[in-house]
Structure 1
Amino acid sequence: MIIEEALFADAKTIAKIHRTSRQEAMPWLPVLHTPEEDIWYFKTMVLPVEKVLIAREGVHAVGFISVNQGWLNHLYITPDRWGSGFGTKLLQAARSDLSYLQLWVFQKNARARHFYSKHGFCECEFTDGQNNEEKVPDIRMDWARDD
């Protein structure tokens, strides 16, 4: 496995991983954007301003993570690689030079909640979802380095 900084040329691949993973993990989540809108979003709103790391297995991208100003905004792994350690490796790489990180996770996403809890994140704020785009109840989780 190789973890490296994502390039603008990775936008389409990242958007596909994002869409595929979300559909598999959260089939109950409303789909609000087209695949083309997803590509535009990652190309113009994420890649230019966030630290985006991509995990590759050989030549194939299998996951990515993006962080910006203390927020973990995206961590997605292709469903066929769930449980293979790619998420853990991406999370470790992204927070290697950080002392604090927070994120939002949907309350119904038990797998993600378990993953983040296992990696030291605490559930600290529950909402009814009215402030997120999907209008689905979520949780703010945070992590702080122990040293």
Structure 2
Amino acid sequence: MTTLRLARDLDAGAVGAILSEFVDTSDWMPRIHTRAEDIAHAARMIDLGRVHVAEEDGAVVGFCARNGEDLDALYVAAKNRGQGIGKALLKHEKAAVDQLELWTFQANEAAQRFYLRHGFIEVQRTDGSGNDERLPDIQYEWRRETV
């Protein structure tokens, strides 16, 4: 059973590890930060109250970070992907706002499929000159449908 909750200080290590694992297992993704910096980044986001985690049997298996309407991160541990955890995290964030914006890399085809499947539309593509990794990216947007 997956539980979602606001991240606590002690979750920074697990959140940072999931982020590092993604970088380590994506051959197109350059490592521009150390694993320790990934944990420190996770700790900063948690301190700001922006992170929710997905937990199974007491272990953090995924997380998302949102700053207002900006979905800054959504990652699931490799062994837990394809089990609906990302969908649950995204649903949780969509329930809190009327619209979300996010960026993903053009090389991340799985993320593109995921966001399109969950109602996001492509807004723009860039050459990557505006992000730290210098990788071409795509901006997506989701808006709650009004009845």
TM-score normalised by L of structure 2? 0.95
Residues 1:126 and 2:125 aligned together: yes
In the comparison of the two structures, how many residue pairs are matched? 145
Q: Describe how 1:1-147 pairs up with structure 2 within 5 A.
A: 1-24=2-25, 26-44=26-44, 46-147=45-146
Q: Which amino acid aligns with 1:111?
A: A
DSSP 3-state at the match of 1:95: helix
CA–CA separation in structure 1 for the residues paired with 2:111 and 2:77: 14
Structure 2 unmatched runs, 5+: none
Q: How far is 1:51 from its partner?
A: 2.3
CA distance in 1, matches of 2:36, 2:108: 25
Q: Name the SS for the 1:132 alignment partner.
A: coil
The 2-side partners of 1:17 and 1:5 are apart by 16
Aligned-partner Cα distance in 2 for 1:28–1:19? 14
Tell me how far 1:22 sits from its aligned partner. 3.1
In the superposition, the TM-score normalised over structure 1's length comes to: 0.95
Q: SS in structure 2 opposite 1:96?
A: helix
Residue 23 (structure 1) shift: 2.6
Q: Do the aligned residues in 2 keep the contact of 1:49 with 1:68 (CA within 8 Å)?
A: no
Q: Which amino acid aligns with 1:5?
A: L
Contact 1:15 1:39 in 2 (8 A): yes
Residues 39-76 of structure 1, C-alpha deviations (whole Å, 9 max, x = no match) = 111112x1122421100111111100010021000100
Rounded Cα–Cα distance in structure 1 between residues aligned with 2:22 and 2:41: 16
Partners of 1:3 and 1:114 in 2: CA distance: 23
1:105 aligned counterpart, secondary structure: strand
Q: In percent, how many aligned pairs have the same letter?
A: 34
Q: State the superposition RMSD in angstroms.
A: 1.0
- Secondary structure at 1:47 match in 2: helix
Letter in 2 for 1:39: I
Partners of 1:22 and 1:75 lie apart in 2 by 13
Large movers: runs of 4+ above 6 Å: none
CA deviation after TM superposition for structure 1 residue 138, in Å: 0.1
> 1-side partners of 2:65 and 2:86: how far apart?
12
